Chains A and B, each alone.
Chain A
């Protein structure tokens, strides 16, 4: 067998036991024999790792685990309630503040826009003005006084 074939068997196939033909080669080839020895050492080390005792679960491991699961689910529930409760409190506070502001502000002013009642009154004034006679520039007689059209923007009654 050639060196590359023997090394392929050793490294790639990782056999439990080196075939007889390869063993024959190993007797005469120092390089391959060293590789095979190293391979055997690593395998022996891995076998030794496999035989190492594994730590056992301590007494009551599953009970403690289940308790931890219960605690975490209770904590999650409590956190959920706390989150919801906090939001309700914030919403209530916001609503109360809005109501207080609405009560505290004056009925009119720069901070307060026209209310519905104001709009209704304004509309009523417009309607009243619409019913008044349209000024044409001619003099009108009312109760004996004569109204003359103002000139150059001057307004007023002229006798």
Chain B
């Protein structure tokens, strides 16, 4: 029993490792593409981050970001890459639910669902 449990843990950890690596690589690639488009178009504009304005609403919502990225807007593409990056640990948590469920560990399924709920609330929650 103990051996079998350890084996499942190892298998989960391997898959999680691959998932994390893929998430980071894909998001870095998307950010890079968006960055090139952004710099080609706006590279000569002055850069000023002294005063905080907050981002426009289309770079703050998942919907707005996806719309902008589809229309190949540089800043929206970067933001999509960052969104994929934020989603990577979220996907890791979601995947762990499956792992704990396979081990029939109800307590940890509950803990993991709770953590996932916090993460989802943070991304799409009210306000």
- Verify that A and B bind, or say they do not: no
